[in-house]
Structure formats: C-alpha cells, structure tokens
Structure 1
Amino acid sequence: MASYADKTSTSSAEEPVTMLAKAVGKPPSDKGYALDEKRRAALSEIDQAKFSWFHIKVCMVAGVGFFTDAYDIFAINIASVMLGYVYGPVNRNQPGNQSLTPNQDLGVKVATPVGTLVGQLLFGWLADVVGRKRMYGVELMLIIVATFGQAVSGQGHAVSIIGVLVVWRFIMGVGIGGDYPLSAVISSEFASTHIRGRMMTAVFANQGWGQFTAALVGFIIVAAYKDSLLHEDALVNAKVDQMWRILIGLGCVPGAIALYFRLTIPETPRFTMDVERNVKQATQDVENFLTTGSYYVDPDAVIERVQAPKASRRDFVAYFSQWQNLKLLIGTSYSWFALDIAFYGLGLNSSTILTAIGFGTPSAHLTGGNKIYENLKNITVGNMILSVAGLIPGYWATFLFVDRWGRKPIQLMGFIMLTILFCCMGFGYNRLTASDGGRKAFVFLYCLTNFFQNFGPNTTTFIVPGEAFPTRYRSTAHGISAASGKLGAIVAQVGFGKLVNIGGKNKFVNHLLEIFAFWMLTGIFSTLLIKETKQLTLEELSNENQEGFIESRPANASSSRA
C-alpha cells in the first residue's frame, strides 16, 4: 500500500487489475483483504480484552522505570544541600552554612532535564524505527551506569566533583528521557480501550512514589547518621559525603531489578503489524499473551511482509501538514512545556522555597553538625509532606476519573486550578509568610498545587501523546511532546536559579510564583487544541482510514525468515 503522502496522488505504476478491482468496490486481492481483516480482528481482541495478569505485568515493568526516574531526578533536591556542606565555599564565620554556588546548584539540577530532552527525542525516534522491544532496557542500562557513576565520583585537581556530577547526570537524563516515550507507547499499545487511561496513569503514578521514596530514604540516612553529625564535629564533612553518595547510589537498585523484565517484554503487536508489517506474527503474539501471558517467536518461520503506510520524511510531513494532526501535536507539546515550567520549578526547588518561607528552618542558635542535622531533617520531612499530601493523591485521583471524565476535562480543570493557586501564593506571599499560621496556609496551598498538577496536566500530558498518533509516529510524537516539556523544565530551572536571589537571598520567590501562574493560564488555551481520547481505539484516534490499511505484497515479492 502507498504511504500516507502517496494517497493524494495516483500512481502511474498501479496494475490495471488492481484499479479495476477498486473501481467495482472489491479488494485488490483476496489475500490482501484477508490479511487486512486478520489485522483488524487482532486489534479488536486487544481493544476488548479483559484486564489480566499480563496487563499488571506491563504496568509493573513500565512503572518501576518511572519510579527510578523520579527517585534519581528529585533526590538531587536533597543531595545538593549535602553537596553544599562538603564541597561548597567555606564560610569560616558561619560554619554549617556552606552551600553550592548558584551556578553549581544550577549545573547539577539542570543537567538531567537537558539530557532528558535529548533522550526523549532520540529514543522516541528509535522506538519507531527499530522497535519498542529492542530499545526497552537500553535506556535503563544508561540510568543504572550513570547513577552508579555519580555515587563513586571524586574530586580532583583537573576537574571538580561538581563538573563530574554534571556529566553523569546528563547521561542519566538521556536514559530517563528514553523511558518516557517507550513506557507510554508500550503501555498504550498493550492496553484494552476501556482501561487504557488507567493503565497509563498507573505507570506514570510511580513517579510520585519515586519522589516520596527519595525523601524517605534521605530521612532514614539523616537519622542513621544523627549521632555522628551531633557528636563528631571533626568528621561531619566525611559523614555528609557518605550520605549523599548512599542517597544517589540507591537509585540503581529498582532499575537493576527491573532490567531483566524489560529486556524480555514482547514487542507490541501494533508495531509488529503496522511497522514491521508482519501480520501473522502479530496475531500469534496477541493470542499468546492474552491466553498465557507470554510470547514465542519461531526463528525458522517464513515472514511475509505486507504493504502498509511506511514512515518516511515525506510521509511525516504529509501527515502533520494536515491541520487536525499538527494542531494536536502543538497542543500536546505546548501544554507539556507550560506545565513543566511550574512542575520542575517547584519540584527541584522545594527545599529553597521551604527555606524562603521559614518552614522548618533550624534555630538560629544551632551551629556546626547540630545545624546540619536539623536542616537536613527538616528538608527531608518537608519533601515527604509535600509528596504524601499532594503529589501521590493527585496521581490516584486521576486514576479514578481518567476513563470516566476523560483526559481533556481533567487537564483543563488542572490548569484552571493551578492558575488560581499560583496567583494566591504569589500575590499573597508576603502576607502568608509573615506569621506561623500564614506559613502553614502557604504549605497547604503548596500541597494543593502538587495535587492539581497530578490530578491535571502532569498526568494527562503524558497520556494523550501516547494515544493520539498512528503507530509509525506514536513514539516520535510522544518524544517531541515530552521534549517540549523538558525544555520548559530547563527554562524553569535556569530562570529560577538566575532570578530567585534578586533583591536578596530568596527575595524573588513571590514573583516566580506569579510567573508560574501566567504559564498555567496559557496552558488553558493550549488544552483546547487537543482532542478527547477516552474510550476510543488507537486506530480511531490515528485520523487514518483503517479500511484496506494493509495489502498483500505482489506475488514476486521476496519473503524472509525471522
């Protein structure tokens, strides 16, 4: 079959028999018609399948990657404070007050989003070219190696440890970036239509558990080193140096556990049919994983490639030159960009914001190891509160309603609520932070913003791009959308780092919150560009006619073996 671009023109090489068959409304060949029917029957089985152990396995295998991603990304929020005590410029007049310089702090925090942007574009494209299965696990290996590399990084005369960490965190970010499109399209393409939103949400919700676990592990480590910090002043730096390495290094563990299962997950039948164009193998895979939860590829089986729309530069341009398709990509990309400005602006700087409002700030009379212990304990406790009170409930609220209300209403509601909340926090900042009661109210509003980020656009911007595009471009389009989000994260982190201390230490926080409100307002309008995807099959959402989507190859076409 011709590619999408070729559908608008008549091929001069088309056989007279085929043209005659089309003229009288018959399929070009009985074999091609049978294969097309076989494809649609297999897709129908996937779309109507009951929830099974295989679906749970897909959620677990994909979800553990997001758990690892979030742990590794947000652990730096605590680890950067520890790094500051050990490697920050020494203030001999105020021991215990060391911190990384603004540029050092920016470097270790922004390196991961930059790497993630690269990984999302690269792995998103590769997953559509070489396959979901072939790339799944490669990105996790990058994460494991880079995380371990951070934990054993050292200081040297030629290069600082901060520089080494920036390099490792960039590499880790590339792996994390690959996880977004791969996990999204794999969970989407294996899911039944009626549970697809919940499956994808369950995968993404592990981000909340990863963020909470980073804070919890940090708290446990601080508690374990309490005696050393309080009573061994001469060894405080050495102990804190051990603490951040343990905190970062433990991020390897869940990834290592999940690696085997990622390497052995089957290829999605949609990719096998529509990109590899092997309908026979795909229908066999569907039957196997729906009945036994496993799959088998016969290495000696003869593969008959069918004709189907094939990805190419020309076809890509033709597909996205149609306004309804381009509009959707713009909507998913910009919505993610706007959301991540606030999501990462808050998430990577929660310790800074909590300190700025004086929430959990150590007593002024504390010095040395006592002050370090109190500060680290308060930061970890504050991050746990923010996770439990806002982040995690938001994901699971989306889980409950995403297949009932739909993706678009949840995203629209989330952006509206976030606009209101950021306005309240920004314009009311000085009044709220002037008293203990006001600070508690500010933390409550902070938790609400976390809740409506996840019961809102943070989850839906992940879901919609994994559903709304054809199989041959689904991962690429998701990668483009996700990379737009990480561009927003980079803008947020660079902007936060450069602006937060205008007028004095942390004096610009209120205006940053007002800026976040503006971006949430723009997200309301970009949401209007996306379409509702609930209870529709991926093929219905692809905006392509599925009647006669594939044809049999001509009789003289060669076959190959698996």
Structure 2
Amino acid sequence: MADNQQLGVLKALDVAKTQLYHFTAIVIAGMGFFTDAYDLFCISLVTKLLGRIYYHKNGAAKPGTLPPEVAAAVNGVALCGTLMGQLFFGWLGDKLGRKKVYGITLIMMVVCSVASGLSFGNSPKGVMTTLCFFRFWLGVGIGGDYPLSATIMSEYANKKTRGAFIAAVFAMQGFGIMAGGIVALIFSSIFDHQFPSPIYSVDPVGSTVPQADYLWRIILMVGALPAGMTYYWRMKMPETARYTALVAKNIKQATQDMSKVLQVDLEAEEEVAERVAQNPRLNYGLFSKEFLRRHGLHLLGTTSTWFLLDIAFYSQNLFQKDIFSAIGWIPGAATMNAIHEVYKIGRAQTLIALCSTVPGYWFTVAFIDIMGRFAIQLMGFFFMTVFMFAIAFPYDHWIKPDNRIGFVIIYSLTFFFANFGPNATTFVVPAEIFPARLRSTCHGISAAAGKAGAIVGAFGFLYAAQSKDKTKTDAGYPPGIGVKNSLMMLGVINFVGMLMTFLVPESKGKSLEELSGENVNDETASSGVSTSGRN
C-alpha cells in the first residue's frame, strides 16, 4: 500500500463540498451544546434567589445568601459530574460507537434538567441536597456530549472547513449562555408583575414572595426543551464512516452509509481496508509506548491548556454576578426585591453574552481555517492575560461609580478573546489529532482536564473572593481585596496557558488520517504534525 494511501470513503468525506448534511450535523450536535451551556450556567442566575428563599433566617451567617460551602456545592457539583461523564462516555464512544452513546447522554440531560427543577425536601438542606444530586447526574450527561459531539462533527466534516464546523457546534454554547439570561429576564419580569413584593429592607423574607420558589425551578427546567427536541434527529444520524471503517472494520457499511449522506456512488475497498486493519502500527493502545511516542506531548498540550483556560473561564462565568455586585453594576440586595434581583443578574449575563461571548465564538468560526488553531489560541491567551491584568492591578480605580462602564468593557473583552481563542480551539483540536479508535477517549480526557480546571475555578474563586478589606474606598464601596487578588491570579494562569499552547499541534488543512497516522505504513506516522504550532 502506498505510504499516503487513504480509504476512498474517507477521502470522499475530506474533499466533499459543503452540503446540507454538514449544516444539519452542526444544528443537531450544536443543540446539545446549547443545552449544555444553558444547564451549566443558568444556576448562577438563581443562587442569590436560593439564598433569599432558603437561608433567610437571622441565625444564618449572612441572612439572605447561600453559605459559602452550599454555594460552592450548588455551583460546582454539575462540573464534577461533567468531568466523570467526559471520561466515561468518551471511552464508551470509542467502544460502542458514537451514535449509540449519543442518545443516552441526551436522555440524561432531559430527565435531570426536569428533576433539578422538582428538587424537594422538608428543610433547606434537604432541597439543596436533592438539587445537587440531580445536577450531578445532569453534569454526567453534559460531560458525555463533549467528546461525542466533537468527534462526530470532526468525522463528518471535510478537511477544508472542518475547524469551522467543529467550532460552530461549540459556538452554540454562547447562545445557550445568552438564552439562560433571556429566560431569566422573561420569567422574572412575569413574576415581578404578577406577584409584586417590597424591596429587601431589613428583613430578607419581606422581599421574597412565596411564588419566587417557582421561578428558579422554571429556569432550571427550561433546559430540558432544546435537548428533547433534538433526540429524534440524533437517532436518525448514521454512525460516522471513520468509526465504522477504522474501528468497527466494516468498510462495506461505512461506504453504504456515506453514499446516502453524500448522495454519490462509492465503492467498498475491501483489500485496502484489510491492509489497514492488519497494520500493527495502527492498533496501539492508549497506555502503550507507541501512543506516548506519537501523541504523548499532544495529549499533554490539549489537557494542560484546557485545564488552565477553564480555571479562568468558569470563574468569570459562574461568579460574574459577584464581580458586578462588587463594582456596583448590579445594585445591592437591599435596594430590590428577590425577583427583581434575578432580573438584574439575567440582564447583566445577557448583555455580556450578546456583546462579547457570542461574537467571540463566531469570530473563531470565521477565521479558524484561515488563521489556524495555534495562532488563534495563542492570541486568545495573550489578550486574556493583558485584559485580566488591566482590570486587576488598578482594581481600586474600576470600582468607583464613574469608572464602571470602562470596567465592563475591559471585562467583556476577556470573554471575547476567551471565545475567539482557547475556549473554542481547546475543543476543536483534540477531535482532530488522535486516531479514530482513541479519538473520543482522548477528547474526553482533554475535556475532563478542563472541567478539573473549572472545579478549581468554581471552588477556589468563591473562597478567594470572600476576603475583603474592612476599610472603604472614597466611593463607599469595599475594595474587594479577595476579588482583586483572584483576578490577578487568573491573569497569571492565562499567561501559563499561552506558554503551554506551544505543545499543541496545528491541524489546519490536514485530513484526520494524516494527522493521526492512520493512512501511512511507516514509522514516521503522525510525524507531519508539528508540536510547534506551525505547518
């Protein structure tokens, strides 16, 4: 077999013109990420409301707010479940096939979204425990969606626009974050109109009408709708040709499936498939020396950069309400009732998503196959570092009332370059550079490293931001020493992420088999993938 020989059905996928099935796959896989983002980040919209409803007694450490340990559990438990789901379903996707596992994760998301909103208990502790239980399993389902969606899209796409297609799936996360804010705005407005209540005043109970307990439940349960709507179409998708041909070793079935998808006549190449199947250098395992030699540095690069990125990204997303409260952009709780507070938080999240998060994702979609993955990731980490330091060092300046707009603009730019940068590329690259039989597993490992970073960010930032100096600024606001130091640390983390990017290979313009070495027959397999980030 020629050194660069590739199965005809896979070559047909690589050179296929952009067709309707590409966009169909983007929507089907992308709606999963829309749901993922909505479910993960909508909890930040209602944590303050949960504090007002369930921790309002004067005996609480701070009446009307969740205790730090409860807030950490409610915010972080879904991330823990996501980490486990990424590892388990990533591995299962390589064992059973992408399609079979795809439906399981979607059902879990639908069921657990509804169950989270139905959380029950005879005490605040009981309700929070039930909520955390269901959100953990919701996270497991969300975690499975990461490696499966990325792998399916990469294996369906052509090599010319593969990066844009995978990034477009991930870009639906931005719409999910924005949808969470919009849903909170809509329902909080309805509740505030139908069940008006006084401002916080002295007693947090007086600002919280009984109907407010329905508000947070509705916001959480709405996340089941987009996932349920796409289940039928996910089950209609055929298994990817790369899994069927290279892992299941059924070249005939792969050819039949892709003939229907591409609407062209393809011939099964039994002889070529047999040579590929019998090549001992293409059957190494994850824990083999051969994998370490070929892809060890690649896996280190994808895991470390995703880990570092998510510490900063999830810290900013989950606790942006605390940062906005610290600078006075969201008024103090004493100035508004519980439902209106949800409205204010939802408005802030929606504006940030609309002005910076969503545009950042789609800038990546537009430029990833032009600039390349390496350049975008390096650029994103660089500007995240610059802007994080720009708000951290002069933090005392930004918290003054006259400077809040400038703070919000710079803070928004960190979100823009996270998404026009490593938040997108760390998702794209692991779906391209590893062999088909390990692709979902390695993507799951990389994504799980990211969620480990998210957990560090969720728990670490929460406690770090608690520390505040007792003195006041000239404007009367606490300088928030904890928040300032946390932002400085996030800037350092972004800088380290920029350095680790040099371990990540550039995959622009290459076929998946060229990147992984599955269409070659010599010991230099995958050596064409540069770890310096250049072609």
Is it true that 1:276 corresponds to 2:266 in the alignment? no
Q: Say what the alpha-carbon RMSD is for the aligned residues.
A: 2.6
Partner of 2:320: 350
Aligned equivalents of 1:427, 1:153: Cα separation in 2 = 42
| 1: CA distance, partners of 2:249 / 2:417 | 42
Distance 2:206 2:123 in 1: 24
Q: Is the 8 A contact 1:88 1:100 kept in 2?
A: yes
Q: Any stretches of 5+ residues in structure 1 without a counterpart?
A: 1-26, 28-32, 296-303, 550-562
Q: Given that residues 362 and 371 in structure 1 are in contact (C-alpha distance below 8 angstroms), is that contact kept between their aligned partners in structure 2?
A: no
Structure 2 vs 1, CA of residues 136 and 384 (structure 1 numbering), >3 Å: closer, same or farther? Answer: same
Taking the aligned partners of 1:116 and 1:94, their CA distance within structure 2 comes to: 31
In structure 2, the residue corresponding to 1:193 is in which secondary structure? Answer: coil
Name which of 76, 81, 84 aligns with 2:51.
84
CA distance in 2, matches of 1:339, 1:94: 33
Deviation track 1:104-125 (CA, whole Å, cap 9, x = no partner) reads 1110110011001000000110
Alpha carbons of structure 1 residues 230 and 462: separation in structure 2 relative to 1, 3 Å: same
2-side partners of 1:529 and 1:84: how far apart? Answer: 44
Q: What's 1:503 paired with? A: 468
Alignment match, 2:391: 425
Question: What displacement does 1:41 show?
Answer: 1.3
1:316-331 mapped onto 2 (5 Å cutoff): 316-322=287-293, 324-331=294-301
Give the Cα separation in 2 of the matches to 1:494 and 1:41.
49
In 2, distance between residues paired with 1:428 and 1:229?
42
Paired residue for 2:92? Answer: 126
Match of 1:182 among 148, 152, 156: 148
CA distance in 1 between counterparts of 2:196 and 2:20 reads 50
Partner of 1:21: none
Q: Determine the structure 1 residue equivalent to 2:309.
A: 339
TM-superposition CA deviations, 1:149-185 (whole Å, max 9, x none): 1111112259611011111111000000000000000
Residues 430 and 443 in structure 2, CA contact (< 8 A), matched pair in contact too = yes
* Partner AA of 1:143 in structure 2: M
> Residues 57, 535 of structure 1: CA spacing in aligned structure 2 closer, same or farther, 3 A cutoff?
same
State the match for 2:210 in structure 1. Answer: 238
1:560 matched residue in structure 2:
none
CA gap of 1:455–1:93, structure 2 versus 1, over 3 A, is: closer
Aligned equivalent of 2:405, options 427, 432, 440: 440
Aligned runs of 1:121-520 on 2, under 5 Å?
121-156=87-122, 160-231=126-197, 236-291=208-263, 307-308=277-278, 314=285, 316-322=287-293, 324-362=294-332, 366=335, 370-436=336-402, 438-503=403-468, 506-520=480-494
Kept after mapping to 2: 8 A contact 1:228/1:235: no
Q: 1:534 aligns with which of 508, 525, 533?
A: 508
**1:394–1:455 contact (8 Å) kept in structure 2:** yes
Q: CA deviation at 1:236?
A: 3.5
Decide whether the 8 Å contact of 2:61 with 2:67 is kept in 1: no
Q: Which moved more, 1:131-140 or 1:229-238?
A: 229-238
Distance 1:480 1:238, change over 3 A: same
Report the TM-score, using the length of structure 1 for normalisation.
0.84
The match for 1:43 is: 10
What per-residue deviation string (whole Å, max 9, x for no partner) do you get for residues 316-370 of structure 1? 4133220x51111100110000000000000011111111111031585x4xxx4
Question: Could you tell me how far 1:544 is from its partner in structure 2?
Answer: 4.4
1:62 paired residue among 17, 20, 29: 29
User: 2:527 corresponds to which residue?
Assistant: none
Shift in Å, 1:260 = 1.1
217-226 vs 280-289, which moves further: 280-289
CA distance in structure 1 between the aligned counterparts of 2:249 and 2:347, rounded to whole angstroms = 53
Structure 1 residue 219 displacement after superposition: 0.5
Amino acid at match of 2:305: S
Q: Do the aligned partners of residues 243 and 41 (structure 1) sit closer, same or farther apart at CA in structure 2, a change above 3 Å counting?
A: same
Distance 1:455 1:167, change over 3 A: same
Judge conservation of contact 1:277–1:308 (CA < 8 Å) in 2: no
Q: Please tell me the residue identity of whatever aligns with 1:458.
A: N
Contact 2:51–2:64 (Cα < 8 Å) also in 1: yes
For the 8 Å contact 1:193–1:537, the answer to whether it is kept is: yes
Letter of the 2:463 counterpart: K
Letter in 1 for 2:57: V
Q: Deviations over 1:471-508 (max 9, x none)?
A: 01111110110000000000111111221112358541
- Secondary structure in 2 matching 1:442: helix
Amino acid at match of 2:390: C
Do 2:372 and 2:506's aligned partners in 1 also have CA atoms closer than 8 Å?
Answer: yes
The partner residue of 2:38 within 71, 75, 85 is 71
In 1, the alpha carbon distance for the partners of 2:322 and 2:509 equals 42
Distance 1:199 1:452 in 2: 19
- 1:228–1:239 Cα contact (<8 Å) kept: no
Q: What secondary structure is seen at the aligned counterpart in 1 of 2:32? A: helix
Q: Is the Cα contact below 8 Å between 1:128 and 1:476 reproduced in 2?
A: yes
CA contact (8 A) 1:229 1:372 kept: no
**CA contact under 8 A between 1:468 and 1:533: conserved in structure 2?**
yes
Contact preservation (8 Å) 1:144, 1:255: yes
Aligned-pair distance for 1:130? 0.9
Q: Which amino acid aligns with 1:120?
A: Q
Query: By how many angstroms is 1:78 displaced?
Result: 0.7
Q: Kindly indicate whether the alpha-carbon contact (under 8 Å) linking 2:34 and 2:172 is maintained by their aligned counterparts in 1.
A: yes
1:264-309: CA deviation from partner (whole Å, max 9, x where unpaired): 211000000111001111112121110189x9xxxxxxxx987346
Secondary structure, aligned partner of 1:361: coil
Number of aligned residue pairs: 499
Mark the CA change 1:309 to 1:252 in structure 2 (over 3 Å): closer, same or farther: farther
Q: What is the percent sequence identity of the aligned residues?
A: 37
Q: Give 1:18's aligned residue.
A: none
CA distance in 2, matches of 1:289, 1:544: 23
